Amino acid sequence: MSINKSFAVFGLGRYGMAVAKELVADGADVLAVDSNETVVNSAALDIPLCKCADITDPEVIRLLGVGNIDVVIVAMASNLEASVLAVMLCKEAGVPTIIAKCANETHGKILSKVGADKVVIPEFESGLRLAKNLLSSGFVDMIELSSKVSLIEIDVRPEWVGHNLIDLNLRRKYGINVVALQQGEKIRVTIDPNAPLEEGQKLVVLADTGKLHKLKDR
């Protein structure tokens, strides 16, 4: 699969490594940065582009070309000061989307104030889930229920509009089972399989995690 966006991950702890490795595995261009040389050398086995650098240094941000990256994930929740500086420098560099891992809601509010577009509290969202959300074209949200099954919310695609679930046979084509239909704020779990789908609707589906590429590579 071809991933059009470029990513950078600052901080290669367990969370940052989970995000970076998943992005790389799905074919994304990823710049991984950590200030610990031992960590960087270890990460280089799985992530081709790894750098040992201090991302709180404006000159480092410039030399790394961070301003040309589409999405930066700041994964240093244990160091609020470094996270704040990294977010601010990325914002100044013109990074379109900055996602920051934070230790708690208070830190999240601070990081949002200085420019983070999304904050992630590790207890609520795993690095793997974040990576899959970033990569999953058309997925509104995704939760891994197990290693084999995911619960996903997806938009009704233009080619599905006007067709009913029986005709679309999504289970055979994509390995998914529709469990609910959402339109606006209303969610229906009792679905008429003969009713044509409409533009603006969302489907909540159970999916075989191993077959998600069928949805991504449409």
Alpha carbon 13 to chain centroid, angstroms: 17
- Residue 95's nearest CA partner among 9, 36, 28 is 9
- More reliable by pLDDT, 54 or 218: 54
Q: What is the pLDDT of residue 122?
A: 67
- Model confidence at 74, in pLDDT bands (50, 70, 90)? very high
Q: Which of 95-109, 140-154, 156-170, 191-205 has the lowest mean pLDDT?
A: 140-154
Q: Which of 82-96, 145-159, 165-179 has the lowest mean pLDDT?
A: 145-159
Which residues, in sequence order, are CB contacts of 143 under 8 Å at separation 6+?
129, 150, 151, 152
Handedness of CA 60, 61, 62, 65 (dihedral sign): positive
Q: What is the pLDDT of residue 155?
A: 86
Mean pLDDT of 199-218: 74
Q: The whole model's pTM is what? A: 0.60
Could you give the domains of the chain? 6-127 (3.40.50.720), 136-216 (3.30.70.1450)
Helices 127-135 and 14-25, axial angle in degrees (round to 10): 30
Angle at 84 between CA 83 and CA 85, to 5 degrees: 95
Q: Which of 107-116, 131-140, 177-186 has the lowest mean pLDDT?
A: 131-140
8-state DSSP, 80: H
Which residue has tokens 């071809």? Answer: 2
Question: Would you state the structure tokens that stand for residue 4, as one six-digit string?
Answer: 């059009």
- More reliable by pLDDT, 218 or 104: 104
> 121-149, pLDDT tens digit by residue?
765 555 556 555 555 544 555 655 555 67
Return mean pLDDT, the chain: 84
Residue type, 180: A
Q: Is 207's pLDDT higher than 50?
A: yes
β-sheet bridge partners, residue 34: 52
Q: Is 90's pLDDT higher than 90?
A: yes
